[in-house]
């Protein structure tokens, strides 16, 4: 990559980190996602019978729960959190609507 393109790419990266990724609102959104995923994993560790039958029965409970939650789409994860954990709307990230 020549110096002109490298400089432009560096400026773009700096802008993204300063004004997008590290904004307090962006960090709060990330925290909201981590909170719900952690709560779902904890729930399925404590309630392994709630995991689908297709889950690897030979896996330890932590691996089974993490693998199951990791395979969820965003919407499905939040639908599940609302259904199983009564997850409050104000704790969901912006832009995530749920069904039911």
Chain segment 33-54, per-residue pLDDT in tens = 999 999 999 999 999 999 988 8
- Interval 14-30: pLDDT, tens: 999 988 888 888 888 88
Q: Is the dihedral of CA 71, 61, 81, 28 positive or negative?
A: negative
Residue 24's φ and ψ, nearest 5 degrees, are -55, -40
Return the percentage of the chain with pLDDT > 70, whole number: 92
Is the pLDDT confidence value at 68 over 70?
Answer: yes
Residue 94 to residues 12, 30, 55, 67, 76, Cα–Cα distance (Å): 25, 10, 30, 25, 15
What is the C-alpha separation between 65 and 93, in angstroms, rounded? 22
Confidence of residue 1 (pLDDT cuts 50, 70, 90): confident
CA torsion angle 14 16 20 23 (round to 10): -10
Instruction: Indicate the pTM of the whole model.
Output: 0.76
pLDDT at position 19: 86
């Amino acid at each position: 990559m020549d110096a002109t393109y490298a400089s432009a790419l560096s400026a773009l990266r700096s802008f993204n980190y300063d004004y997008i990724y590290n904004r307090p609102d962006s960090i709060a959104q990330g925290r909201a996602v981590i909170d719900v995923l952690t709560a779902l994993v904890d729930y399925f560790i404590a309630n392994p019978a709630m995991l689908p039958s297709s889950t690897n029965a030979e896996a330890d409970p932590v691996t089974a729960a993490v693998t199951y939650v990791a395979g969820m789409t965003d919407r499905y994860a939040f639908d599940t959190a609302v259904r199983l954990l009564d997850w409050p709307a104000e704790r969901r990230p912006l832009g995530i609507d749920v069904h039911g």
